[in-house]
Amino acid sequence: MPETIFDALRESHTTQRSLIRKLMRSKPGPERVTLFTSLRIELASHEAAEERFLYVPMLMDDRGLHPSRDALADHHTMDELVEEMQTRGHSGRHWTSLVRRLSEELHEHLREEERSFFQLAGKILSDAQKTGLAKKYRKDFHAMQVKLSKKD
């Protein structure tokens, strides 16, 4: 069976969960900075490609309009947290509380996506769209990772 957009997205979701868990357990220092950078790049690459190749097609169907808007709002909230974390040192109570908030937002967003949004998208998208969007998502995701990695 060919890969669907949902398979590709779940792979990144697994990576995101792993990175945020490691970041939550990390101590101040170079490893924490590396973990944060990896998570930031993973989130930004995933969000951009997911918005382009899942949310946009979902926005075109009345049933997907509200759920897509909610998901976009979640992305925006997480982006703001990541941005605030970038402007601070990677130690201290405030930074740790931001990591905790990001973890909560991220886990809730992924749960909601996997439990309800993907099911709705599965009804809206055709089988051909699901596999075609997976290829487009992967290509865009990897291009974004390369682009963002070069900036660091």
Give this prediction's pTM: 0.94
Greatest Cα pair distance, the chain, in angstroms, is 49
| 22-41: pLDDT as tens digits | 999 999 999 999 999 999 99
**Mean pLDDT of the 127-147 span:** 97
CB 78 within 8 A of CB 120: no
Identify each DSSP E strand in 29-140 by its residue range: none
Residue 151, pLDDT score: 79
pLDDT at 152 over 80: no
pLDDT digits (tens, 9 = 90+) for 63-111: 999 999 999 999 999 999 999 999 878 888 899 999 999 999 999 999 9
Collapse the DSSP code of 87 into the 3-class scheme (helix H, G, I; strand E, B; otherwise coil) and give the result. Answer: coil
Among 48, 46, 39, 33, smallest CA distance to 17 is for: 39
Phi, psi of 143 (to 5 degrees): -60, -40
